[in-house]
Amino acid sequence: MSAEDAELVARVQRGESQAYAELVRRYQDRVFNACWRICGHLEDARDLTQEAFLKAFEGLGNFRGESGFFTWIFRVAVNLSLTHRRNTHRRRVLSLDQATNPDGTQADELARRMRHAENDGPADGPTQGELHAAVVRAMHDLDDDQRAVLVLRDIEGFDYEQIGSILRIPPGTVKSRLFRARSAIQRAIDPQMLSHRRKANSDD
């Protein structure tokens, strides 16, 4: 845990509840983003973010610093989001728009990474809109465990050890789930790539 976070946590534990507002300010945007990507619904993500910080505040008296506050609040938020998703009977369409990535949406970024892995140049692939739609559909169909790992790794940028700590699973399990999730995204992109190549060949 960073020295700044440790000091803020200690102040909250001493009864200075206003110090918690700084912890919320530091991490609320990223926690909200993860909740949104996992649960797939904007308003629910706002509620889950508030619930996560409230639950963390209520449990802070028992927090012993065995992990960083950052890891701990993400663990709370991810667990709440996964439980919410599992308890939601109707399927909702996930939107990956309005991303923090300045070069495009997060679906676009995932698609770019997958396309780059095959060494395809921009002229060799489908449009970003086509890739975006394919990635959104694939993200929507991932199971909860794969979805959580993909969000934490490829969108939030946590390393394997951090993800393992958040989800309470070994790093090897993180890697296997991430591999399966990325494979599902790749399978969603492949038909778009094949269709584009066939069209390009027919135009020659």
Domain assignment present for 98:
no
Q: What is the mean pLDDT of the chain?
A: 78
The first and second tokens of residue 175, run together, are 């890697």
Pair (127, 69) in one structural domain = no
Pair (59, 147) in one structural domain = no
Q: Give the pLDDT confidence of 138-184 residue by residue, as tens digits.
A: 777 888 899 999 999 988 899 999 999 999 999 999 999 999 999 98
Alpha helices in 40-105 (DSSP H): 42-59, 69-87
pLDDT at 72: 92
pLDDT at 200: 45
pLDDT at 1: 62
pLDDT at 103: 44
Pair (18, 83) in one structural domain = yes
CATH code of the domain in which 63 resides: 1.10.1740.10
Q: Give the pLDDT confidence of 130-151 residue by residue, as tens digits.
A: 667 777 777 778 888 999 999 9
- Choosing from 87, 119, 136, the residue where a domain stops is 87
* Full domain range(s) for residue 33: 3-87
DSSP letters, 127-173, are -HHHHHHHHHHHHHHS-HHHHHHHIIIIIT---HHHHHHHHTS-HHH
> Does residue 90 sit in helix, strand or coil?
coil
Closest CA to 29 of 129, 156, 170: 156
- What's the total number of domains in the chain? 2
CATH code of the domain in which 116 resides: 1.10.10.10
The first and second tokens of residue 36, run together, are 């949104």
With cut-offs at 50, 70 and 90, classify the pLDDT of residue 191.
Answer: low
Q: Give the pLDDT confidence of 4-60 residue by residue, as tens digits.
A: 889 999 999 999 989 999 999 999 999 999 999 898 888 999 999 999 999 999 998
Q: Give the pLDDT confidence of 74-113 residue by residue, as tens digits.
A: 999 999 999 998 887 444 444 444 444 434 455 555 555 5
Domain assignment present for 92:
no
pLDDT at 99: 42
